[in-house]
């Protein structure tokens, strides 16, 4: 019998409680700093044993109970002891980022990816590597459950490129794929984005999808850079936005004087693992290097000494909207900006015992502000990093794909929407906490052995999956090749901060540069002839003729000129 439309409803048990996913409830970071986000009001924790100079990560179970936390070299278990086989990781202590991802093939396991600061296939500490944590192993803890262990045969495994070579990068992040049980590990390097897929078959080591970043600077040896991804977007053209940020300090070998920092925002397709061409924005800056997206991906925050909000939705090639929402009166740098599970965005300042917070991050406009001392960390102290979120699926937008095969169920509450067929394998089980809906355009095929346990909820039905076409009418504004020269704004602000006095002067002119380091200065007469050079903060003009001069001052961030009168 050819049935065109079937409504299948199997309710094993009425299940009405929405269970929040707790994998990102806890943050452990800095020097023994920790915060719990199980509730909307954060709670400071004082049990950390970790000192993390920069990269750090934390994993909790779906109920929000701590499993483990880590820096680039050591993993601590939930009883705050080094995990079995969890020491001696091949990470660089000053690498910026690491990422933790659940293993789709084994609910007890986690991939942990450790980055490095320099390209060197010969030095284990300077290559990207991964290890696998298994929470079903290790000694038994006080609650009668194992404390976890790093698998002996899956420790410090080098991540390899398409040619089989190891490589270094201190930038890494992860996003959920377009189908359940898939993730993408994203690593920028050179002028490319390397996308590695993780699914039920494992980690695609040595087989990355490679996209051109079109980045203005080569991201290689001696350069410092990071990557952040937006949450999944309800957008027919791309699933996520990515921001790759480059710190262009000349002392780091960047080789460019201005702009100092570069931030490039591009669109990413989680069904293919490639960067597509629907969105691109370059932001040139001096001291605006730290990126984070808000909860709906409509705003990008960039900061260091100042914090800016960039309107990603309404900006066009002809006009990129931005606001400065905070400027530190002491010009103190901030070293990490990170969104938590609730969509709140926190800011760390090295040496501080407080986390700052961005107020109203999801509504672009004058209501955005910063409370710089928001969470008291107690005895904990910030360093250079905050934990990236473990990617998890949540109920909501799910791209329409043709077919889907489910071998296990990683989601607690989720809607699957598929254009043709959903097929479950024999080990597909819904436990009492699951509340799953399946919508397929043609057929839902539950193979023998599929089961729903008492306390779970399941709803399956046949209905078309509407794919939005990429028509020119829908692309009603130009959001490619956008450029924001934020450095011009920053340079103007810095110019105002650098003062000279007295002026006019007859003996000495003092240069007040605040926190700006004076690299050199040079004094020119009105004909353009150089008459004096130096690098101190005093200019001796007592032997010069009375006249007008131009003082050119070079700092780490800029070159400015000031008119000088010698009387």
- CA 142 to CA 354: how far, in whole Å? 32
Parallel, antiparallel or unpaired: strands 224-229 and 240-247: antiparallel
- CA 49 to CA 434: how far, in whole Å? 35
- CA 161 to CA 357: how far, in whole Å? 38
Burial class (CB in 10 A: 0-12, 13-18, 19+), 246: buried
Which structure tokens are listed for 210?
């490679």
478 falls in which pLDDT band (50, 70, 90)? low
pLDDT (tens digit, 9 = 90+) per residue, 404-456?
888 887 666 677 778 788 999 878 899 887 888 888 888 999 988 888 888 88
pLDDT of residue 472: 34
Least confident of 145-159, 189-203, 279-293: 279-293
395 falls in which pLDDT band (50, 70, 90)? very low
pLDDT of residue 76: 98
pLDDT (tens digit, 9 = 90+) per residue, 154-168?
999 999 999 999 888
Average pLDDT over residues 513-539: 82
pLDDT at 7 over 50: no
pLDDT at 511 over 70: yes
pLDDT at 240 over 50: yes
pLDDT of residue 17: 31
563 CB neighbour count, 10 Å cutoff: 10
Q: Which of 111-120, 124-133, 441-450, 508-517 is most confident?
A: 441-450
pLDDT at 532 over 80: yes
Q: How many helices (H) and strands (E) does the chain have?
A: 1, 45
Q: Average pLDDT, whole number, for the chain?
A: 83
The structure tokens 């077919």 sit at 403
455 CB neighbour count, 10 Å cutoff: 14
553 falls in which pLDDT band (50, 70, 90)? confident
Least confident of 154-168, 252-266, 302-316, 331-345: 252-266
Under DSSP, the state recorded for 154 is: G
Top pLDDT among 492 and 144 is at 144
Is the whole model's pTM more than 0.75, yes or no? no
Average pLDDT over residues 21-38: 95
Strand ranges inside 270-349, DSSP E: 274-285, 288-293, 299-304, 306-311, 322-327, 336-339, 345-348
pLDDT at 13 over 60: no
pLDDT of residue 519: 82
Top pLDDT among 6 and 349 is at 349
- CA 483 to CA 319: how far, in whole Å? 9
DSSP string, 387-446: PPPPP---SS----EEEEEESS---SEEEEEEEEEEEE-TT-EE-TT-EEEEEESSEEEE
pLDDT at 3 over 60: no
Least confident of 12-26, 266-280, 492-506: 12-26
Query: CA nearest 113: which of 146, 80, 154, 63?
Result: 154
**Torsional sign, CA 158, 159, 160, 166:** negative
Average pLDDT over residues 175-191: 91
122 falls in which pLDDT band (50, 70, 90)? very low
Q: What percent of the chain has pLDDT over 90?
A: 45
Top pLDDT among 421 and 138 is at 138
């Amino acid at each position: 019998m050819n049935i065109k439309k079937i409504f299948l409803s199997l309710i094993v048990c009425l299940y009405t409680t929405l269970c929040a996913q707790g994998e990102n409830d806890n943050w452990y970071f800095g020097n023994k700093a920790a915060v719990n986000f199980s509730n909307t009001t954060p709670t400071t924790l004082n049990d950390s044993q970790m000192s993390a100079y920069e990269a750090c990560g934390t994993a909790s179970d779906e109920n929000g109970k701590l499993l483990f936390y880590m820096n680039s070299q050591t993993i601590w278990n939930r009883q705050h002891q080094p995990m079995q086989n969890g020491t001696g990781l091949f990470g660089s202590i000053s690498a910026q980022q690491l990422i933790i991802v659940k293993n789709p093939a084994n609910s007890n396991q986690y991939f942990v990816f450790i980055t490095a600061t320099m390209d060197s296939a010969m030095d284990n500490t300077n290559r990207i590597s991964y290890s696998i944590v298994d929470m079903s192993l290790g000694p038994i803890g006080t609650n009668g459950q194992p404390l976890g262990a790093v698998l002996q045969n899956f420790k410090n495994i080098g991540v390899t490129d398409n040619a089989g070579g190891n490589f270094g990068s201190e930038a890494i992040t992860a996003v959920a794929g377009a189908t359940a049980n898939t993730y993408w590990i994203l690593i920028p390097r050179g002028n490319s984005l390397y996308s590695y897929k993780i699914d039920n078959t494992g980690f695609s080591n040595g087989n990355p999808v490679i996209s051109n970043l079109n980045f203005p600077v080569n991201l290689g040896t001696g350069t410092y850079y990071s990557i952040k991804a937006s949450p999944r977007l309800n957008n027919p053209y791309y699933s996520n936005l990515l921001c790759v940020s480059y710190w262009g300090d000349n002392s780091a070998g960047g080789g460019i004087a201005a702009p100092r920092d570069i931030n490039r925002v591009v669109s990413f397709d989680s069904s293919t693992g490639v960067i597509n061409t629907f969105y691109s924005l370059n932001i040139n800056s001096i001291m605006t290097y730290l990126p984070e997206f808000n909860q709906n991906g409509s705003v990008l925050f960039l900061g260091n000494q100042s914090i800016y909000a960039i309107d990603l939705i309404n900006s066009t090639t002809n006009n990129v909207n931005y606001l400065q929402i905070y400027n530190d009166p002491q010009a103190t740098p901030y070293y990490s900006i990170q969104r938590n599970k609730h969509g709140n965005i926190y800011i760390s300042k090295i040496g501080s015992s407080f986390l700052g917070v961005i107020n109203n991050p999801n509504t672009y406009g004058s209501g955005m502000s910063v409370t710089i001392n928001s969470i008291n960390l107690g005895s904990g102290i910030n360093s250079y990093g905050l934990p990236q979120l473990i990617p998890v699926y949540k109920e909501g937008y799910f791209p329409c794909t043709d077919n889907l095969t489910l071998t296990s169920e990683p989601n607690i509450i989720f809607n699957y929407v598929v254009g043709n067929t959903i097929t479950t394998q024999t080990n597909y089980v819904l436990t009492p906490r699951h509340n799953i809906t399946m919508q397929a355009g043609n057929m839902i095929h539950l193979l023998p052995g599929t089961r729903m346990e008492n306390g779970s909820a399941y709803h399956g039905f046949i209905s078309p999956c509407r794919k939005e076409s990429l028509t020119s009418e829908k692309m009603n504004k130009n959001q490619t090749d956008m450029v924001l020269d934020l450095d011009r704004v920053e340079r103007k602000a810095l110019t105002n901060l650098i003062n000279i006095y007295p002026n006019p002067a007859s003996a000495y002119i003092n240069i007040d540069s605040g926190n700006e380091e004076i690299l050199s200065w040079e004094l020119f007469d009105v004909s353009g002839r150089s008459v004096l050079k130096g690098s101190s903060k005093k200019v001796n003009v007592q032997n010069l003729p009375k006249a007008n001069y131009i003082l050119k001052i070079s700092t780490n961030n800029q070159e400015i000129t000031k008119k000088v009168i010698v009387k």
